[in-house]
Structure 1
């Protein structure tokens, strides 16, 4: 039954909806992910000076790093290998296409999460799909927001936490011979110390861990590229030809290339699932589109950079052979390919990368679970502490248990999660475009950093308190905009 539901959801319904939303918003937004690609870096640079506010909000950069911690996981290493095994090199091309379309989807959902975020009494924010469903679609759809929160808790908070623990423990066991029981205990202790410190501690850990793991993995990929720089054009040609069935040995043919590339792109970057908007909503930014632009960049990092690194490591190796590659798949293919390039220590390097990617994802999954509980209650600390204890228990249990059924069940709940979120995105297409046009208009007027005025959107049931920018930050924005435009004043928020 679980396999049947997964086939219906992921094999037909969701792939169609995700492509429709991605392409639809790309066209309606006039290719926003490409128009503002350069602005992503300026926003991140400005956010570092904009993060020391009195409430200790997460900066745009911290929210980006936390979302990258969740997007980048075992799928970037093992999943890409599976895609190439079953779909041939052409799967990589379609993975790139879906990644670029997913950037637009991520922009839409994360911009909506920012737009409909809610201010808390302590000055922090909470938000995400459950909130933009309830506020954007109307209170009569609060049940749908509640359903989304439950699915988020079950899928990420519980199911994927156990699965990532299993991946981390087995990777350590394979690479270093450490029994999974001891790995599970150690992981649970570290996770416990971090999650009891709340989202700010999680963000601080991710701010250090994610760049280290991503840069380390990219560094080894660049070493491999440098070793075979003369063959890179040939590999790119192979990818493109295989994508359109112009290469004879293409795994399962052009159909398999498209299907596996599309699935790998969608599963890896999570655009459309509604997971990243839970993090994007809590960032302190002057305009919702700021975080939309930044979160589009996180999809680029995940799919166009990290996944591509794995693909080139495999395709540049002598291990890869379309005729026999099915004998070696998943993480074993990536390990064998890297070992072919740099020696046997490459196998251990891949295992360490899997451990770091998996650990960061456990922290991200915890935060998603906490945010889903937030939708129902924000004051019951006993409930949150019980959830934290449950997470620690799940990490221990997941490390030592065969999770085949759990994985299949989590796939179904994740599919339902995506279905709810995609329905909401389609219904909120116009509000998302309206916020983007406000951003576009201010940019066209020469304003370097647009500021969101919630009063102009009074018909959208927004929380105006969530858009009260602190005076010193407003002054900083005024100076930046005056310098860029030559004007001496900025319209007050």
Structure 2
């Protein structure tokens, strides 16, 4: 197992530095420059658009599609990912998370706008799509679209679910009853059984209840974090000094860049907000909007909610308390130690409950994206019921295994599979970027004319009837 973990870590390290860091930075800066900072410049317009109705009660609104993608983004990464970045990379990781969030929001705009432009129409008139569809139609590269789907399935059915299960069981390490040999097995088994029960169609009530509770838990988590920060207000100035000093300690970064705050900030920021990864466009394509740019703008908010709100809440809560941070407390223990300074024994329990809810809904949400990829690979048709049952059983086994594997292996598998998606999606968005940029210009032109923008495919160079929508 140690040899496998070593190999995974080596692949992970090389993939992110220098390859992914260069690709993500180049794409983010290119999109920011070509859209004239759309993610900042039109922030207020993005806020206004989330309240715009779809115009059809039976279709998905812009807000609903954004909430689906946000539900996928918000999860264990907002708690465990941030803790890991700070403990292993240093406080400066927070700053690089913020930087990549703001730059990455432009990537989120591009991918979601492209998903809208190239979306398909089903038999009922509703829409679907995502990166596989704009790779196939925009680049005319069906095989590359299949490769993207393979990476997506590997990420969301394997990598992310392994990590999600590990992260949940790690929250129990702080309790006296935890035994490293037996407790992970018990937690993994319970989580796998619940997940399998829901995936195989028997847990509709569980899904409805957790889907209702999770948004409330997210708000509660931010409130709890604010209470901890406010009660430690005297440490806030020195905390920000520490973050910026560490972020710009380039001598330290250069000395060990793979394990630096820069790389950890980018890795964990990408894992948390998924900007440019190619996951959110699957949900974005389902929205019923009058103009593709609307959904692109709305998706930038999802990135901000995830990173600037939830990830920052975790980071500032932990750093403001001043509790010890090192590799031994990396993950759930660091967050639990921080919150317990204010809430005592109730603090770790709150984190465990939050993690259980976040993890469970994330596991189920991940499969939504996987289903779309399987349909694409099956010639745009639903796979057989028997195949899906076998596949769902395999997914539950992955959840069980995730609770047992080492932390490094769980993170490396998630990083590698997500990195593969990103390395296909971002260059594709850069090649097809002219359509999204033209779409944005068309949207702004109509806004200046006082119109509610509507889109025609011919306005960005398509022929009449070339796309399923926008004719």
TM range (shorter): 0.7 to 0.9
Quick check: 1:74–1:357 contact (8 Å CA) kept in 2? yes
Hey, what does 1:20 align to over in structure 2?
A: 26
Higher alpha-carbon deviation: 73-82 or 18-27 = 73-82
Hey, what does 1:97 align to over in structure 2?
A: 99
Note the 1:389-408 alignment, pairs <5 A. Answer: 389-399=393-403, 405=409, 408=412
What do residues 218-260 of structure 1 show as CA deviations (whole Å, max 9, x unaligned)? 01011112213344333223322332239x9x89989633333
Structure 1 stretches of 4+ with a deviation exceeding 6 A read 200-206, 250-254, 460-463
**Equivalent-residue separation in structure 2 for 1:34 and 1:251 (angstroms):** 29
TM-score, normalised to structure 1, is: 0.83
Q: Provide structure 1 residue ranges, at least 5 long, that are not aligned to the other structure.
A: 468-492
Shift of 1:125: 2.2
Shift of 1:176: 8.9
The one of 450, 454, 463 aligned to 1:451: 454
Instruction: Indicate how the Cα distance of structure 1 residues 315 and 26 shifts in structure 2: closer, same or farther if over 3 A, else same.
Output: same
**SS across alignment from 1:2:** helix
Note the 1:32-431 alignment, pairs <5 A. Answer: 32-47=38-53, 50=54, 53-54=57-58, 57-138=59-140, 141-171=141-171, 177=177, 179-192=183-196, 194-195=198-199, 208-245=212-249, 256-320=260-324, 325-377=326-378, 378-382=381-385, 383-399=387-403, 405=409, 408-431=412-435
Instruction: Indicate how the Cα distance of structure 1 residues 232 and 404 shifts in structure 2: closer, same or farther if over 3 A, else same.
Output: closer
Quick check: 1:86–1:251 contact (8 Å CA) kept in 2? no
**Equivalent-residue separation in structure 1 for 2:435 and 2:51 (angstroms):** 28
Hey, what does 2:16 align to over in structure 1?
A: 10
**Equivalent-residue separation in structure 1 for 2:119 and 2:345 (angstroms):** 49
Instruction: Indicate how the Cα distance of structure 1 residues 408 and 234 shifts in structure 2: closer, same or farther if over 3 A, else same.
Output: closer
**Equivalent-residue separation in structure 2 for 1:161 and 1:110 (angstroms):** 24
Instruction: Indicate how the Cα distance of structure 1 residues 230 and 2 shifts in structure 2: closer, same or farther if over 3 A, else same.
Output: closer
CA root-mean-square deviation = 3.1
Note the 1:424-443 alignment, pairs <5 A. Answer: 424-443=428-447
**Equivalent-residue separation in structure 1 for 2:406 and 2:266 (angstroms):** 28
**Equivalent-residue separation in structure 1 for 2:18 and 2:465 (angstroms):** 35
What do residues 33-91 of structure 1 show as CA deviations (whole Å, max 9, x unaligned)? 112211222222123xx37533xx33222222221222122222122222222333222
Hey, what does 1:484 align to over in structure 2?
A: none
**Equivalent-residue separation in structure 1 for 2:466 and 2:221 (angstroms):** 41
Quick check: 2:232–2:321 contact (8 Å CA) kept in 1? no
What do residues 320-354 of structure 1 show as CA deviations (whole Å, max 9, x unaligned)? 47xxx455322211111111122122112222222
Shift of 1:356: 1.8
**Equivalent-residue separation in structure 2 for 1:462 and 1:152 (angstroms):** 30
Instruction: Indicate how the Cα distance of structure 1 residues 173 and 326 shifts in structure 2: closer, same or farther if over 3 A, else same.
Output: closer
Quick check: 1:195–1:202 contact (8 Å CA) kept in 2? no
Quick check: 2:166–2:410 contact (8 Å CA) kept in 1? no
**Equivalent-residue separation in structure 2 for 1:36 and 1:105 (angstroms):** 15
TM-score, normalised to structure 2, is: 0.86
**SS across alignment from 2:264:** helix
What do residues 73-111 of structure 1 show as CA deviations (whole Å, max 9, x unaligned)? 222212222222233322211211111111111111111
Instruction: Indicate how the Cα distance of structure 1 residues 258 and 221 shifts in structure 2: closer, same or farther if over 3 A, else same.
Output: same
Quick check: 1:66–1:207 contact (8 Å CA) kept in 2? no
Quick check: 2:229–2:321 contact (8 Å CA) kept in 1? no
**Equivalent-residue separation in structure 2 for 1:253 and 1:212 (angstroms):** 43
Hey, what does 2:3 align to over in structure 1?
A: none
**Equivalent-residue separation in structure 1 for 2:150 and 2:269 (angstroms):** 25
**SS across alignment from 2:278:** coil
Hey, what does 1:479 align to over in structure 2?
A: none
**SS across alignment from 1:459:** coil
Instruction: Indicate how the Cα distance of structure 1 residues 463 and 150 shifts in structure 2: closer, same or farther if over 3 A, else same.
Output: farther
Quick check: 1:171–1:355 contact (8 Å CA) kept in 2? no
Alignment: residue pair count: 455
